[in-house]
Amino acid sequence: MSPRVVRTVAGARRLRREAREAGRRVAFVPTMGALHEGHLALVRRARALGDEVWVSIFVNPTQFGPGEDYDRYPRDLEGDTRLLEREGVATVFAPAEREMYPEPPAVTVGFGGLEDVLCGASRPGHFAGVGLVVLKLFHIVEPDVAVFGQKDAQQAVLIRRLVADLDLPVRIEVAPTVREGDGLAMSSRNRYLGPEERAAAPALYRALQAGRRAVASGETGPAAVEAAMRAVLAAEPRLGVEYAACVDPRSLQPPAGIAGPVLLAVAARLGGARLIDNVLASPDGVHPETLSDLDRAGGFR
Amino acid sequence: MSPRVVRTVAGARRLRREAREAGRRVAFVPTMGALHEGHLALVRRARALGDEVWVSIFVNPTQFGPGEDYDRYPRDLEGDTRLLEREGVATVFAPAEREMYPEPPAVTVGFGGLEDVLCGASRPGHFAGVGLVVLKLFHIVEPDVAVFGQKDAQQAVLIRRLVADLDLPVRIEVAPTVREGDGLAMSSRNRYLGPEERAAAPALYRALQAGRRAVASGETGPAAVEAAMRAVLAAEPRLGVEYAACVDPRSLQPPAGIAGPVLLAVAARLGGARLIDNVLASPDGVHPETLSDLDRAGGFR
């Protein structure tokens, strides 16, 4: 059965009321469309957690900076909806920009500095825009559970913080990164890569693996782990490395010494694309896949 | 029947689920306790709008600045609960500070400058704290409708903006200010006034009435209206006037010329208290009582 595609806030609220009255738990996957296997893995995780899956498709202008790829970001609602149909998605919420922002919003969301490090350092305003749109989507969809990808680790950390600090009545689940055969993390932006760039891209994941090996072999200094990652990235001259970081998965600051799980994260420009990737690394060599796995292992919060 | 008093977020969520399953609409009045007739008027308005009334009582530390009256703010949960019992309130949510803030929040809420004028100019951080706690309370109580007082006009403007910009699924109703016989707006802080200060306090309302007369008599310059209000306040030497403002009720900025309803607002220190008051004023002399009345008259938003 084809998903119901709703374009308005009022329409989404109406469908949500029906689901509630039928006692159906809604699991929600917010996306910007241009769906790939990574998104579909989030949808499958959502299907396991709720009675019906809702997916939003909205290229949110407030999270793009000037000079970023808002205009050329790939949009294909029909193709996306076909993919979601195969996954048994109940509802696709695909509002127009005017529906989400009928006037410029006055309200802003901050994260006490968590939004200024890692990707936030080179994308000022990005996470404020993410926080705003996620709050709006949560208030419209009112999901019981929402699934985010580990791929966007900083986003996941911030959303979890948003939910905790604001007492949002939603459970957040972070699902594993899906990778190509050579390790490249799936991303809608991979389609910006030319063939030679595509061949160079797996260096990000190789760098993260080098970082994991350093942590598992007993390295306790975050700077040394970062150096191990940078050495791998430096071997690939096409990469314009933005950061290679070893940080606490909660504060996003480098730990004084590595005594438990850390987040290893990298970002680099490659041709016309900006690529990011990350893994969690544990000194005991049992590396959690996601922030949610870390929770369940009792290692976090 | 005595209201159910819940102290925990989990307890409130449980009762909220019961109300939802019973198909009962919840009307919510957030307060800091120290209840007076003004609060009870909000409760009565709530009773007319929902099937059951919930009142929160929480002296929110994040909205008090250093040197403000957080420590001496009057607290009397038992007396407050007795008053609410007479009003048929279903649920009192009275969390401890640790329940609301188990750790210092990282997330912050801004209002694009609306929070920096009027009361915000002398109370930096106040409205950020209000925004944070109201979002938390809305996410915990999930009210169908929430009632705020016109007395705190700037707060009402900001909360309405919060709801609009974040698509919060709650209707906001603004209820009229309740006044003593001599015009003084009811406030928990009136109890800080000594007898002579209490005698001086109605000058605030007299100033607002002078402002209304100026607007209704055709004055189109906000500065002239402000001068009319200031003249009344100046006659009362005990008052330390903080502001006397004539502003657009949406932007909170002085209008270029008064062509429709405006918000007249005053703030002054009087002994150990800081008092505020406001009215709406319309050039046609038909003054709306509240921001909600203004909506219904089609003059706003």
Residue B237 sits at the chain A interface (C-beta within 8 Å) = no
Nearest neighbour of A108 by CB, restricted to B20, B112, B132: B112
pLDDT (tens digit per residue) in A40-59: 999 999 999 999 999 999 99
For residue A163, count other CB atoms closer than 10 A to its CB. Answer: 19
pLDDT (tens digit per residue) in A185-238: 999 999 999 999 999 999 999 999 999 999 999 999 999 999 999 999 999 999
Contacts of A248 in chain B (CB under 8 A): none
- Residues of B labelled catalytic: 39
Tell me how close the Cα of B97 comes to any Cα of chain A, in angstroms.
Answer: 13
- Contact between chains at B169 and A135 (C-beta distance less than 8 A): no
Residue A1 sits at the chain B interface (C-beta within 8 Å) = no
Residue A106 sits at the chain B interface (C-beta within 8 Å) = yes
Contacts of B135 in chain A (CB under 8 A): 166
- Contact between chains at A106 and B9 (C-beta distance less than 8 A): no
- Contact between chains at B135 and A107 (C-beta distance less than 8 A): no
For range A126-144, the mean pLDDT: 98
Q: Please tell me which residue of chain A has the smallest CA distance to B102.
A: A165
The number of C-beta contacts closer than 8 angstroms across A and B is: 77
Residue B192 sits at the chain A interface (C-beta within 8 Å) = no
Residues above pLDDT 70, as percent of chain A = 99
Report chain A's terminal Cα–Cα distance, integer Å.
Answer: 40
- Contact between chains at B161 and A106 (C-beta distance less than 8 A): yes
Element (H, E) at A205: helix A203-216
- Contact between chains at A166 and B139 (C-beta distance less than 8 A): yes
Tell me how close the Cα of A138 comes to any Cα of chain B, in angstroms.
Answer: 9
Residue B251 sits at the chain A interface (C-beta within 8 Å) = no
Q: Would you place residue A299 in the very low, low, confident or very high pLDDT band (cuts 50, 70, 90)?
A: low
Contacts of A9 in chain B (CB under 8 A): 167
Residue B235 confidence (pLDDT): 97
- What is this structure's pTM? 0.97
Tell me how close the Cα of A77 comes to any Cα of chain B, in angstroms.
Answer: 23
Phi, psi at residue A157, to the nearest 5°? -60, -45
Residue A140 sits at the chain B interface (C-beta within 8 Å) = yes
Q: Would you place residue A298 in the very low, low, confident or very high pLDDT band (cuts 50, 70, 90)?
A: confident
Nearest neighbour of B108 by CB, restricted to A20, A105, A110: A110
CA distance B30 to B63: 14
ipTM over 0.90: yes
Tell me the DSSP string of B126-174. Answer: HHHHHHHHHHHHHHHH--SEEEEETTSHHHHHHHHHHHHHHT-S-EEEE
Q: Please tell me which residue of chain B has the smallest CA distance to A111.
A: B107
Nearest neighbour of A167 by CB, restricted to B106, B110, B136: B136
Q: Would you place residue A172 in the very low, low, confident or very high pLDDT band (cuts 50, 70, 90)?
A: very high
Most B-contacting residue of A115, A127, A139 (CB-CB within 10 A), to test interface:
A139
Which residues lie closer than 8 Å to B241 by C-beta, 6 or more apart? B230, B233, B234, B266, B267, B268
CA distance A162 to A160: 5
pLDDT (tens digit per residue) in B217-239: 999 999 999 999 999 999 999 99
Q: Please tell me which residue of chain B has the smallest CA distance to A105.
A: B165
Contacts of A132 in chain B (CB under 8 A): 165-166
- Single-letter residue type at B81: T
Domains of chain A: residue spans and CATH: 4-175 (3.40.50.620), 188-296 (3.30.1300.10)
Most A-contacting residue of B165, B250, B301 (CB-CB within 10 A), to test interface:
B165
Residue B301 confidence (pLDDT): 43
Residue A301 confidence (pLDDT): 43
Residue B23 sits at the chain A interface (C-beta within 8 Å) = no
Tell me the DSSP string of chain B. Answer: -PPEEE-SHHHHHHHHHHHHHTTPPEEEEEE-S---HHHHHHHHHHHHHSSEEEEEE---GGGPPTTSSTTTS---HHHHHHHHHHTT--EEE---HHHH-SS----EEE-TTGGGSTHHHHSTTHHHHHHHHHHHHHHHH--SEEEEETTSHHHHHHHHHHHHHHT-S-EEEEEPPPB-TTSPBP-GGGGG--HHHHHHTTHHHHHHHHHHHHHHTT---HHHHHHHHHHHHHT-TT-EEEEEEEE-TTT-S--SS--S-EEEEEEEEETTEEEEEEEEE-TTS---SSHHHHHHTT---
Residue A9 sits at the chain B interface (C-beta within 8 Å) = yes
Q: Report yes or no: A219 and A229 within 8 Å, Cβ to Cβ.
A: no
Residue A166 sits at the chain B interface (C-beta within 8 Å) = yes
Nearest neighbour of B139 by CB, restricted to A108, A109, A168: A168
Nearest neighbour of A13 by CB, restricted to B105, B114, B169: B169
pLDDT (tens digit per residue) in A238-297: 999 999 999 999 999 999 999 999 999 999 999 999 999 999 999 999 999 999 999 998
Q: Dihedral (C-alpha) B185, B190, B194, B195: value to the nearest 10 degrees?
A: 30
Bridge partners, A270 (sequence order): A273
Nearest neighbour of A108 by CB, restricted to B110, B142, B169: B110
For range A60-65, the mean pLDDT: 96
Q: Report yes or no: A151 and A292 within 8 Å, Cβ to Cβ.
A: no
Nearest neighbour of B165 by CB, restricted to A9, A105, A161: A105
Q: Is A57 helix (H, G, I), strand (E, B) or coil?
A: strand
Contacts of B142 in chain A (CB under 8 A): 169
CA distance B133 to B246: 28
Contacts of A161 in chain B (CB under 8 A): 106-107
Mean pLDDT, chain A, rounded, equals: 97
What is the residue-level pLDDT of chain B in tens, covering all 301 positions? 899 999 999 999 999 999 999 999 999 999 999 999 999 999 999 999 999 999 999 999 999 999 999 999 999 999 999 999 999 999 999 999 999 999 999 999 999 999 999 999 999 999 999 999 999 999 999 999 999 999 999 999 999 999 999 999 999 999 999 999 999 999 999 999 999 999 999 999 999 999 999 999 999 999 999 999 999 999 999 999 999 999 999 999 999 999 999 999 999 999 999 999 999 999 999 999 999 999 998 754 4
**Closest by alpha carbon to A182, among A214, A211, A209?**
A209
**Closest by alpha carbon to B142, among B52, B56, B13, B48?**
B13
Residue B136 sits at the chain A interface (C-beta within 8 Å) = yes
- Contact between chains at A166 and B132 (C-beta distance less than 8 A): yes
| Residues belonging to chain A | 301
Bridge partners, A205 (sequence order): none
